[in-house]
Structure 1
């Protein structure tokens, strides 16, 4: 019995000794990345304690999982671990692979028996780190076959997770480079999703795409923020913002996702009760965002966690309800949030030690996010296809109605034409009287139109006049300062002080008022006034040349000058969108009624501008070309545009009174009739070339000498 007792005693000692050895993190040459979660001791106090207090504390407890998940705490947590080096070299690296910890401080034993400290975390600028990587990497200098005990203080407003490992340098950098490649693939996928859907938003202007783009961007920043890359590359010098960034972008992403879902699934109509739930979750997220922004970080994080949990389950439930009601795109929403929830569950089980800590579980959220975003993109595309199909069906119905209306109109037109033919004979008898009345109406309309268009140049005159008036007050102020300077110089010159002192006082005063700049500014203001006055005079001259309403006699006139004055009058119609090209030939003076010809030019230009505007709308590309020349005894004016052009039917009726292709209220149909009569009055000719969809060209031929006999 005694012998068995001794055996049992020594066996127990062996087991305890083995347990003690296991409490050390022993890293060998081929161990690679060694997670030491099960070899650490944890001290969680209810208040902040110093290192000396932690060093003396007997309250450290052994942890039993590979990755410590220490929950939420407002104070620092202490970790103690011992590392035994079985590698060939003394240099090892400690990797704390959770970049969003606020404070990470390592206490390393030194040769004197004390401890040296190294502090890192989100509270310090990224550039102060020794190693350019988001993880917290510390040097462990341990001689081969020896051990050292370290203390690690960690603190965070978020969930306190500490994936801690001991590594040989080469093994760690190889592992981190592999992880960086995976993170790069995730970031690339996020950027592609963001830009692709942003392009679609600008194409279709669907607000759901805008919320989806905001969601993709926010989720991407949240995920790479958890990996520490935003702090490394975007705001490394802003620790204050880094402490808040993950919660901020998580809240923004969830809010955008909820707004997207409300629009995409039309929850106010398809799921009214749950729409109120979604609105409530948005309010909770907004409160969490507000708490985070004002510095209540832990409260903001806890409320964000609660809200995002409600957010995930609410979206799954509401998408299931809408899907059950037969709305096909809801399937994509349901599957996308289910995939994201699965990824979150895997990630959480990994953090709590249920699943192993490996590459798949570490990147489960990123993988799930990519799958979820892809499914939502498919859902958006499917929704666009449904809307397109509904639009096509609606257009088909509208076309059928339009065809039926057209049939009815044709029948009515036949009946109307019969009635018109019955009245034609009666109307022919009074045709001469009608033409006379029409001629008087045309003249009256011509004068009214001319006065109305001439008044339109007020806009052209107003700009240079405003330029003049805006320069007057600064010029008055500067001149008064010059006069004051002259008075001061006169007073100094009459004083009894020495010439050098006079010169000094004058120079000081000139420097005080910045005399050289004052002179330069006066010249600039005078130049501006001169340019504004010159431009005004030019416009008034153009108006005078254009109107000539009081000139009923024939006069020799420069046609090119008349066209230029007409362009000044029509400039407000051009509105900067229509390009005017002029190619003037050398023309002799022409005997004509100058005001009437200018009215002809204005009528044609107005129609050309209208046609170009209809063709191009708000886009550029519209063009009007004006060419003048001489052929035999005629001056030839060609005015061509690249507007809508005219059909053959419209071309035959273009000079008929009251005929117009413009919308109701945009034209009377008298302009081209006036033009035709004016050219005939000058014994000239007017030709029109037009092709529908390509443009129109008017060719005017005016005799150089007015033939009174022919008139």
Structure 2
């Protein structure tokens, strides 16, 4: 038993020693950065940085510091500057520093450059060997920072001679370069003052350009100046949001705006750049197809912006989409310049510088521009924006110069034409004066002739007056005769109508003559309504006598029970399935022939199937027989007397 215990202890000891050896080997794999008295600034790059990707974001500092299994997962950085490739993960970074005796006790700090980083927590070793945590980022109020500076700084509280390990926990929805820099406080102050002086010059130029172009817009009322002002302001807001200046001075207590401002400013930058391009280069007049393409890009960029703003704001991080609208503006400038529009040369040159700045910035973000000076790599976009603003101002001025030249040429042409017109006017006036003199003489001679003719005309007017009086008398007589004729026509028309009605009720008419009396369905319905309700209306359901118009023409609806009764109801035409005027004619023919006409004859006359005519004939003959048995001597005659007899319903 004792031997077994000793054996277990031996294996345990061997395991611990092996683990410690592995940890010491892992720790020794990371490069230690030496800081001496000559080092005022040092950027940690490549193997000087180790990192762990925390996919779930649940690792604590105690686990990272004390857990051997987690410490063994630290991997050396393989790029010049590390970045958060997976923006959903949390990353832990570790750097090791060795201070010599000469560099000890100097005030120094650790600084992070990328101002779009959401959260970064620094764990700094103190003199007692205990780590203190400090937090910063663009999601934390600006007032909580150690220094009121756009970058993220963390004070080194213990820099006595020896080796120290610093841990940093970083989380950001944006793809950021993790640039970790050691700086002495003296050098930091010198650097910050120079940097803010540069910012002052840059934003001062932006304000000057804005003010100048705003005054030009107010003076000449050309919209391109106003679009250019909006474009420059969008550039300024974007640069301020990316540099952290906007967060420092405009909304230090509202870090939530950092999630939106640079996306909104990039959108407005692209849109106003394209609109300014259309206006400056006169794209609509010079290339209709290119004008439509630019508008399609504006619409697509707007849809993408709205999607980012209201659905998924994390897509704001994909800044490379701005290459599309800016490339569109660049292509438009080249195309318009090739068409002979001279102001486009400055426009093309401006966007060439802007694209060069974008390329340098992209290479810097990918870690391929470390060979360039820091000033060039980090401020390439701002520098190129300044050059672009100057060149675009030249383009606007060149356009104004060309327009002024064209205006001066048009004005000179107008003056020359006015001089020609003046000479022509003088010659025409001389000719007119001569013609007026000749014409005046002719007018005087004519006036004498007209005076003599006026006397003759006066005599003729007297004769015409007498004739007019006679004509007025005749016109009055003709009017009286027309009135008499009109009365005779009305009487004649009435007589014809009565004769036609009489013939309809007695003698046999053909279908054309019958149709003259009952030409359409409306006339037939009107006749049935007048015949059916010639007395007082009475509802068949509730016997109410008040009604209003129904939905069907000439139907009546009871105002009490709302029962609607059509003109066909309770007549021989109830459930009628053929045109109503033909049904009228069938009744008329059977009545006038006293029921002797056959169904075949009815079919030939009306063009209706013989079976249908036979069914109608049976129904009508039955009504005629019932009427014959019950007819009184003084009963009215005519085919219409059969209508109100319902007979056998079909």
**TM-score interval, normalised by the smaller of the two chains:** 0.5 to 0.7
Q: 2:316 aligns with which of 277, 281, 300?
A: 300
**Hey, what's the Cα distance between the residues in 2 that align with 1:30 and 1:98?**
26
Q: Deviations over 1:276-332 (max 9, x none)?
A: 332233223323432444373221332x422x1112332222222222222111111
Deviations along 1:429-469, one digit per CA (max 9) or x if unpaired, are: x9xxxxxxxxxxxxxxxxxxxxxxxxxxxxxxxxxxxxxxx
Which of residues 349, 365, 379 in structure 1 aligns to 2:363? 349
Residues 227-253 of structure 1 show CA distances to partners (whole Å, capped at 9, x for unaligned) of 111111112122111222122112111
CA spacing shift, 1:292–1:26, aligned 2, 3 Å: farther
2:324 corresponds, among 292, 310, 318, to 310
Distance 2:89 2:285 in 1: 48
Partner of 2:345: 331
Local SS of the residue matching 2:116:
coil
Q: Does 1:125 align with 2:125?
A: no
Aligned match of 1:239: 255
Matched, 1:140 2:165: no
Q: Does 1:188 align with 2:197?
A: no
Task: Give the superposition deviation at 1:182.
Answer: 2.0
Q: TM-score, normalised by structure 1?
A: 0.54
C-alpha contact 2:41 2:187 (8 A) present in aligned 1: yes
Let me know the Cα RMSD of the aligned residues. Answer: 2.9
Indicate conservation of the 8 Å contact 2:111/2:151, yes or no. Answer: yes
Corresponding residue to 1:47 among 29, 33, 56: 56
Taking the TM superposition and a 5 Å limit, the aligned residue runs for 1:693-708 are none
Equivalent pairs, count: 412
Contact 1:78–1:152, Cα closer than 8 Å, also in 2? yes
Give the CA deviation at 1:393.
2.1
SS at match of 1:144: coil
Unaligned runs of 5+ in 1: 1-12, 431-711
**Structure 2: 5+ residue stretches without partners:** 1-20, 448-650
Provide the TM-score with structure 2 as the length reference: 0.58
Paired residues for 1:200-599 under 5 Å: 200-294=216-310, 296-302=312-318, 304-306=319-321, 308-356=322-370, 358-418=374-434
Shift of 1:83: 2.6
CA distance in 2, matches of 1:17, 1:48: 27
- CA displacement, residues 539-591 of structure 1 (integer Å, 9 cap, x when unaligned): xxxxxxxxxxxxxxxxxxxxxxxxxxxxxxxxxxxxxxxxxxxxxxxxxxxxx
1:61 is matched with 75
Deviations 1:255-292 (A, max 9, x none): 11111111111223434433333223322332343244
- Rounded to whole Å, the distance in 1 between the matches of 2:433 and 2:86 is 89
SS in 1 for 2:175: coil
Task: Choose from 126, 148, 166 the match for 1:150.
Answer: 166
Determine the C-alpha separation between the residues in 2 that align with 1:331 and 1:282: 23
Structure 2 Cα separation of the partners of residues 71 and 96 of structure 1: 17
In structure 2, the CA distance between the partners of 1:18 and 1:233, relative to structure 1 (3 Å rule), is same
- Write the distance in 2 (CA, Å) between the matches of 1:36 and 1:158: 21
Displacement after TM superposition at 1:65 (Å): 4.2
Conserved 8 A contact 1:91-1:169: yes
Q: Tell me the distance in 2 between the aligned counterparts of 1:158 and 1:243.
A: 10
Q: Give 3-state SS (helix, strand or coil) of 1:262's partner.
A: helix
Structure 2: distance between partners of 1:27 and 1:280: 56
Q: Does 1:24 align with 2:18?
A: no
| CA apart distance, 1:359 | 1.6
Relative distance call for 1:115 and 1:181 in structure 2 (3 A) is: same
Q: For 1:120 and 1:295, how far apart are their aligned partners in 2?
A: 27
- 1:642-689 Cα distance to aligned partner (Å, 9 max, x none): xxxxxxxxxxxxxxxxxxxxxxxxxxxxxxxxxxxxxxxxxxxxxxxx
Whole-angstrom CA distance in 1 between matches of 2:432 and 2:106: 107
TM-fit CA distance, 1:413: 3.4
Distance 1:44 1:323 in 2: 51
Is the 1:27–1:83 contact (alpha carbons within 8 Å) kept by the matching residues of 2? yes
Deviation of the 1:112 alpha carbon: 7.1
Larger Rg: 1 or 2?
2
In structure 2, the CA distance between the partners of 1:166 and 1:183, relative to structure 1 (3 Å rule), is same
Q: 1:69 to 1:143 in 2, by over 3 A?
A: closer
2:99 pairs with one of 85, 90, 114? 85
Q: CA deviation at 1:54?
A: 4.8
Partners of 1:317 and 1:229 in 2: CA distance: 33
